[in-house]
Each structure stands twice: as structure tokens, then as C-alpha cells.
Amino acid sequence: MNILVLGSGGREHTFAYKIAQSELCSTLFVAPGNAGTANIATNVPISVTDFSAIKSLVVKENIKMVVVGPEDPLVQGISDYFAKDDQLKNVVVIGPSKEGAQLEGSKEYAKEFLFRHNIPTAAYQSFTAATVDDGKQFLETLNAPYVLKADGLAAGKGVLILQDIEEAKSELENMLTNKKFGAASEKVVIEEFLDGIELSVFVLTDGKNYVTLPTAKDYKRIGEGDTGLNTGGMGAISPVPFADEVFMRKIEEQIVKPTVEGLIQENIDYKGFIFIGLIKVGDDPKVIEYNVRMGDPETEAVLPRVKTDLVTLFQHVGDQSLDKVDLEIDQRSATTVMTVSGGYPEAYEKGKEITGIDSISDAIVFHAGTKLEGDKVVTNGGRVIAITSFDEDFKKALKNSYENIEKLHFDKMYYRKDLGFDL
Ligand code: AMP
Ligand code: GLY
């Protein structure tokens, strides 16, 4: 079977790495891909949201399965585009319908879904420019810190957590009236602050059944000790040591099952990943957010632990027969450490030559922002390369990732040396 992966980050290199190992995969394409995917697949320079170019590629290359990495094409309706097209309707698309993707595309939609299905989450209210004064009054009823969320997609930057009530009011005004995050902040969700430690759970559903993949914890801030600006993610650890059996049972019963059953009840077509961001408050899990795709860099730690053939798993999603699957998981810990360009997540330079990749042998190298320039690999983004290692516990695995990063070089390379500090 010919397969296409959409995207160009470490997550997509990891998908490609797993898919390329499957005997069921004949030719693998990645659009647009990076220097890492170029080694194991055919990169095609197409944007992930150019649906007509994607259609041409799928038809021309007789592609039977499309794995959608990022959220943008899902929120724009790529699954519906395939389902409605006579030439594409039999292609298995891993990723939900446009309606299902609203779980990530609109914070308000997600909160309403959570409340309809009695899934534990923070109390909230949402506001528009017309109700900005009500929003300010609502803030007065809460205690600091104040959580303001742009309703729409804002590239991971749309959440503000503020200590000061006056600042919270003026940021609310900025978001609603001055469109601080463009159309994404035409609506703002104000939420109760939840105090606890975060973790993520990944579910793959065929719309009827589901399997729960390993948990992971990512490190979003640029600076050590979780300080400084938010990034896409500086590394991840899987499994999360504090997610013991009792806690996982709560997650399954109170969150995962009602989520999948809620989608079924509401006739929402959903074949793909659900990435549930959780916070452990006391002994209980609460949902912070849904994403309708895998996480990056969580994928680089989670998927290498999945021993079950990934293409087989995706075929079961297509046939709605995930109930026939016994997921096999590597019981060791996996860690991934992201190297980034100096300056990221603010301005940074691209085009720096990366050396030392070939000297890494006992860890897995997943490319993120890289590209080929002649026979050189150069940086092409903020997050550049993730190094994944396995060991019996996360500390040993991390040590191995860090030792291997020492072999890697590019101008102004930076990475966090303190992953797992909070565990
Ligand atoms: P989100 O985009 O909704 O995941 O929010 C981004 C980050 O903001 C989360 O990963 C949390 O660290 C933090 N956050 C979001 N909502 C809350 C909340 N209600 N209480 C505390 N922290 C939150
Ligand atoms: N690492 C967080 C995300 O993928 O959204």
C-alpha cells in the first residue's frame, strides 16, 4: 500500500519512521517533509492545506492511506474533503472530520462538549467584544491567577495566565477588542485556574472503539525550571511516572470513555488521535485541552514505544475494528530531547549546517526543522532535531539522549538540560 504522511516536523518523521518499518507499506510519501523523512520516504513539496494538490498526488501515486500530522488541515476539513470526493472516498484518512476537529479548533466548543458529557474540567465562561464588560465582571469573581484563552487556533500562543486583575482585564480587552490573536481571539474563554502537575494521554479511535497509547509529559517552556516563553515543546518523557494504575483507571473511566462515547452519541465522525491534555489536581484528573492529533515532541517518545505495527493499527481505524487489536507496548521508558535554534521561540536564523548526526548510533534521531542543501543537512526551523532514547527508567534514558546530543553540532544550538526535574 502507498501511504502519505502530511507535515514536516519531528512528529511526522516519527510517523514515517514507524510506517517505513511496516511490511504493509510499499511507497511512503511525506508532504512537505524534512531532511530526515527524505532518507526514508519521498518528500513532495506540497503544503498540508493545499487540498487539491494533495488530491492530485494521492490519485497519481495510488495512495491508500493519509496520516495527517498537524491540526490545520483537520480544522480546515481535509477528512470531509476526502469523504466527499469519489476518487478519494476509499482512502483511509487518519484524522477526524471538521466537526470533530473543533475540539481543538474552538476552546468554547471543547468546553461545551466537556460539560455536556460531565467530563471533569475547569469552570469557565466565554465572552465576545459585545460582552467584554461582563467578562471583566466575571474576572472580579475569580481569584488569581486568571486564565484567558483565545477561542481559535493561535499556534500554541493563545493562552495567557496572569497574576494581576488589572492586567487580566486589559489583556481581555486586547484580545476581544483589539484582536490580539486575530480572528482566533474574537471569542475568549475565561477559566478557573487549576493547580497541579500536567500530563498527556493519547487515544486512537476508529469512531466506535479506541486504544489508549502510552502517556507522556512534555516541557513547554524554553528555560530550565519551566521558565521563560512557551515553545512547541522542548522534550518529552513516556510513560509519566506518577500516572499509576489507579490514576490511569480514573482517566479511562472519567475522561477517555465519556469522550469517545460523547463523539459517538453526537454522531461526530472521528477516526484519528485524541490528545488529551490533563492536569492532576489532588488525586484527580481534569481536562485542560483536547488536541485532535498527536503531540510534538510527545510523538517522538510515545510512538517508538508502540510495538504493534502502525499501518495495521491504522487499517483497523479505517475498518472500525480497533476492538480486534491488542496493543503491544515496550515497557521501557522513552525520552526525547529537542535541540532548537538560538533565539527560538522568538527570532532565530535558519540555514546553519548540522554535523554529527551520523555519529549517533544508540539513540534515534528525529528531524524537525531541517532540510537538505546539496549533501548538507541545515537548520530550517526553531525546533531542529529530537534525540530519543530508551532505558529501564527515564533518568537513564535521558542520560543517553544528553550524551548523544553532545555529538551533534550547529551554530547556536540550545536544549534544556533539566527535563524530568519535576518528576
Ligand atoms: P492550552 O492551550 O489550553 O493547553 O493551555 C496552555 C497551557 O496553559 C497548558 O498546558 C497549561 O499549562 C496552562 N493552562 C491552561 N488552562 C489552565 C487552567 N485552567 N489552569 C491552569 N493552567 C492552565
Ligand atoms: N507539545 C504540545 C503539542 O503538540 O501541542
pLDDT tens, position by position, 198-236: 999 999 999 999 999 999 999 999 999 999 988 999 999
Pocket lined around ligand 2, Cβ cut-off 6 Å: 218, 232-233, 291, 295-296, 298
Residue 372: predicted pLDDT: 96
Residue 415: predicted pLDDT: 98
**Which of 72, 220, 296 has the most ligand 2 atoms within 8 A of CB, as the residue to mutate?**
296
Query: Which contacts qualify for 346-351: CB closer than 8 Å, 24 or more apart?
Result: 346/229, 348/382, 348/412, 349/379, 349/411, 349/412, 350/378, 350/379, 350/380, 350/381, 351/378, 351/379, 351/380
For ligand 2, atom 2, the nearest C-alpha belongs to 295
Residue 351: predicted pLDDT: 97
Residue 421: predicted pLDDT: 93
For ligand 1, atom 9, the nearest C-alpha belongs to 288
Report the alpha-carbon distance of residue 19 to residue 209 in Å, rounded: 22
Residues 388, 300: contact at Cβ < 8 Å? yes
The mean pLDDT values, 10 residues at a time, for the chain of 423 residues are: 98 98 98 98 98 98 98 97 98 98 95 97 92 91 92 84 92 89 88 94 98 96 93 96 96 98 98 98 96 97 98 98 96 98 95 96 96 96 97 97 96 97 90
Report the alpha-carbon distance of residue 391 to residue 324 in Å, rounded: 30
What would the grid cell of residue 95 be?
484524522
The pTM assigned to this predicted structure is 0.95
**Residues whose CB falls within 8 Å of the CB of residue 267, separated by 6 or more in sequence, listed in order:** none
For ligand 2, atom 4, the nearest C-alpha belongs to 295
Report the alpha-carbon distance of residue 296 to residue 283 in Å, rounded: 27
**Mean pLDDT across the chain, nearest whole number?**
96
- 149-184 pLDDT per residue, tens: 999 988 777 889 999 999 999 999 988 988 888 889
**Which of 275, 292, 303, 336 has the most ligand 2 atoms within 8 A of CB, as the residue to mutate?**
275
Q: Residue 107: is it exposed, middle or buried by C-beta count within 10 angstroms (0-12/13-18/19+)?
A: buried
